Structure 1
Amino acid sequence: MRYGGAVALVVIGAILYFAVNVEVQAVDISLVGLILMIAGAVWLVINLIADATSRRRRVVPVEDREETIEE
């Protein structure tokens, strides 16, 4: 669900920006759509960066084994 919210914001913003032709006196719907698209894109980029850096930091623990040499 890390990416779902970001994609939803981009989709809702695109619908408001490109498809809605309603004029409200106090609010510019196109501007709200643009802001939502930008916020969704930023959220998506932050999630991608967080996933990329967390994968790099993961260390698989290795069991310490003492090898016995038979002579």
Structure 2
Amino acid sequence: MGVGGGIFLIVVGAILAFGLEPDAWEVFNLNTIGYICMAVGVLAIIIALVMQNQRRKTSHTEYVERRDLGNPPPAR
């Protein structure tokens, strides 16, 4: 999901939690859905930052293998 998706969920959750009346839609409580979206957005940002930090700490080493088949290189 990444940082952008987490920020999007926080914004949508804040709109649902604080921008709408609790009884705007009678089927679900939109305030609770907004708080859940905000919590999932914060969790997504934390996970994305932890994963990015782990990727940053890895190092890549290149090994070049050379095969000599018993023939010496030609003399110059």
Q: Which runs of 5+ in 2 are unaligned?
A: 65-76
For the structure 1 residues 9 and 53, does the alpha-carbon distance in structure 2 shift closer, same or farther, using more than 3 Å as the test? Answer: same
Runs ≥4 residues deviating over 3 A: 60-63
Q: CA RMSD in A?
A: 1.9
Listed as ranges, the gaps of 5+ residues in structure 1 are: 64-71
Count matched residues: 63
Structure number with bigger Rg:
2
TM-score (norm 2): 0.71
- Deviations for 1:28-61, whole angstroms, at most 9, x for unmatched residues? 0000000000011111100000000111013354
TM-score by length of 1: 0.76
